[in-house]
Amino acid sequence: MNLLKDILVIDFSQFLSGPSAALRLADMGAQVIKIEKPVTGDICRQLYVSDVMIEGESTIFHAINRNKQSYTADLKDADDLAKVKQLLAKADVMMHNFRPGVMERIGLDYETVKSINPGIVYAEVSGYGTEGPWKDLPGQDLLLQAASGLTWLSNNNNESPTPMGVAVVDIMAGTHIAQGILAALYKKGINGEGALIQVSMFESILDFQFEVLTCYYNDGNQLPVRSAINSGHAYVAAPYGIYRTKDNYIALAMTNIILLAELLQCEPLKHFIDSNDWFDKRDEIKEMLARHLIKDTAGHWLTILEKADIWCAPVLDYDELVKEEGYRILNMEITVKTSNGLSVKTTRCPIRVDGRILTSAKGAPVLGEDNEAIEKRFGLAKELQPVIKS
Footprint (CB under 8 A) of other proteins, residues 203-222: 203-204, 206-219, 221-222
CA distance 99 to 81: 19
CA distance 182 to 199: 14
Calculate the CA 71 to chain-centre distance: 24
The size of the interface with other proteins (CB under 8 A), counted in residues, is 146
Q: Does residue 340 belong to the site contacting other proteins (CB under 8 A)?
A: no
Q: Does residue 63 belong to the site contacting other proteins (CB under 8 A)?
A: yes
Nearer to other proteins, 73 or 293 (CB): 293
Q: Does residue 32 belong to the site contacting other proteins (CB under 8 A)?
A: no
Nearer to other proteins, 182 or 285 (CB): 182
The one-letter amino acid code at 359 reads T
Asked if 92 and 120 touch (Cβ cutoff 8 Å), the reply is yes
Q: Does residue 162 belong to the site contacting other proteins (CB under 8 A)?
A: yes
- Choose the stretch contacting other proteins; rule: CB under 8 A; options: 71-79, 166-174, 258-266, 380-388: 166-174
Among 56, 111, 131, 389, binds other proteins (CB under 8 A): 131
* Backbone φ/ψ region at 56: left (φ over 0), alpha (ψ -120 to 50), beta: left
Nearer to other proteins, 3 or 82 (CB): 3
Among 129, 258, 300, 371, binds other proteins (CB under 8 A): 129
Q: Does residue 125 belong to the site contacting other proteins (CB under 8 A)?
A: no
| Longest Cα–Cα distance in the chain | 83
**Whole-number minimum distance, CB 388 to other proteins, in Å?**
24
Among 158, 276, 340, 390, binds other proteins (CB under 8 A): 276
Helices (H) and strands (E) in the chain, counts: 16, 15
CA distance 207 to 147: 14
Q: Does residue 105 belong to the site contacting other proteins (CB under 8 A)?
A: no
Query: Judging by beta carbons within 10 Å of its beta carbon (0-12, 13-18, 19+), is residue 176 exposed, middle or buried?
Result: buried
Please name the helix (run of DSSP H) or strand (run of DSSP E) that holds residue 356, with its range, or none: strand 356-357
Among 70, 141, 269, 293, binds other proteins (CB under 8 A): 141
3-state secondary structure of 310: coil
